[in-house]
Amino acid sequence: MEKISKARAIKIQAVGEIKKLLKDSSSIVLVDYKGLNVEEATRLRRQLSDAGVKYKVYKNTLVDIAASEIGIEGLSQYLTGPTAMAFSLNDPIAPAKQIAESIKKLNKMQIKAGVLEGKVIDAQGVKILAELPSKQELVAKLLGSLNAPVANFVGILGGPVRALVYALNSVRESKESANG
C-alpha cells in the first residue's frame, strides 16, 4: 500500500474542505486582494465576519480541482493571481454586498467572479447581486406588505365605530346643553 506524503494529505483535505464550501455556500465571491496590507486584510476579515461572511484564501489549483470534481464549470478562467473567497452559508447577497462596500472603502480589491447556486457568474453579475436588498430587508418589506392590509382593515372597521361614538357624544352634549 502506498503512503501518502503529509503535504499531499493536507492538499486532499483542503480540496475536501473547498468542495464542501462550494456545495454548502449560498454564494461565493472571488476577489483579487492584491495591494491589501496586513492591517487592511485583518479589518476586512473582521468586517466580513461581523456580517456573517467568511473570507478565506486557498491555492487556485486546489479550488480548480474541487470545482471540477463537483461539476462547477467555468471557474478556471478566474483562478489566476491572488484569489480570496468570501462566502456565506445562509445569505446569498451578503458576500457580494460586503465585498462591494469594501472595494468602495479600500479601492484596492477587484471582483473576479462568483458562484451562485453552483453556477459561475462574472464580476458584473456579482455587482448586480450586491445591489439587491439583503435577506433581512426583503423580509422586512414582506412583513410590512403583509401588515398593511390588516392595519388598513382595522382602520376601516374602526371608522364607523368612531363615527357612532362621535354622534352619541354630540347627542349627549346637546341634551346636556338643553337641560343645563
b/e per residue 13-40 (b: at least 16 CB within 10 A)? ebbeebbebbeebbbbbbbbbeebeeeb
Higher pLDDT, 179 or 36: 36
110: closest CA among 81, 69, 143? 81
Quote the pTM value: 0.73
Q: Is the pLDDT of residue 168 over 80?
A: no
Cell reading at 5: 506524503
Output the CATH code of domain 6-132: 3.30.70.1730
Which tens digits make up the pLDDT trace of 21-65?
A: 999 999 999 999 998 999 999 999 999 999 999 999 999 999 999
| Structure confidence at residue 1 (pLDDT) | 46
CA 66 – CA 14 distance, rounded (Å): 9
Which tens digits make up the pLDDT trace of 96-110?
A: 999 999 999 888 899
Confidence class for position 13, pLDDT limits 50, 70, 90: very high
Which tens digits make up the pLDDT trace of 140-164?
A: 877 877 776 766 666 676 667 677 7
Q: How far is CA 18 from CA 8, 21, 62, 106, in A?
A: 15, 5, 8, 27
Mean of the per-residue pLDDT values of the chain: 87
